[in-house]
């Protein structure tokens, strides 16, 4: 088995430009799946534009490869929490069952480990009210 050269892979990825008309198929086509890790997927994506809200049944690991990303979390109760991931190599663990979305400045490449099943996505202003 050969190692994954994360920085090289990031440079080779096409940029997914997220907007109101971006389809789930376009998003998945832009991601590079590197393999599985336990019951999760290991992948990478390069993107610009704010992502829809995401929810996963398990913790999600985000590793910034290039750029800067603002991650907004919606805990079960209370208002949003925003975390800025600024340096390549920074890792953020998004707690399981927490709605979250990413906003790169202006674009970013992320490696991620996320649940392979049971994920949800939402375009609602506050997805906790519609879940």
- In the chain, the domains with their CATH numbers are 6-91+103-116 (2.60.120)
Specify which of 2-11, 18-27, 105-114 reaches the highest per-range mean pLDDT: 105-114
Q: Pick the residue with more confidence: 1 or 19?
A: 19
* Predicted pLDDT at 76: 78
Residue 123 sits at φ, ψ, to 5 deg, of -100, 0
Give me the pLDDT at residue 78, please.
Answer: 81
Predicted TM-score (pTM) of the model is: 0.91
- Cα separations (Å) of 108 from 17, 36, 64, 74, 79? 11, 22, 8, 22, 26
How many other C-beta atoms lie within 10 A of the C-beta of residue 127?
19
């Amino acid at each position: 088995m050969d190692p994954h050269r994360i920085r090289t892979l990031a440079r080779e990825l096409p940029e997914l430009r997220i907007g109101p008309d971006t389809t789930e198929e376009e998003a998945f086509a832009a991601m590079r799946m590197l393999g599985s890790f336990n019951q999760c997927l290991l992948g990478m994506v390069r993107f610009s534009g704010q992502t829809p809200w995401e929810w996963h049944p398990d913790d999600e690991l985000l590793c910034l490869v290039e750029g800067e990303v603002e991650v907004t979390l919606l805990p079960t109760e209370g208002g949003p929490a925003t975390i800025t991931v600024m340096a390549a190599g920074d890792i953020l663990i998004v707690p399981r069952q927490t709605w979250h979305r990413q906003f790169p400045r202006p674009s970013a490449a992320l490696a991620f480990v996320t649940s392979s099943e049971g994920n949800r996505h939402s375009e609602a202003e506050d997805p906790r009210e519609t879940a």
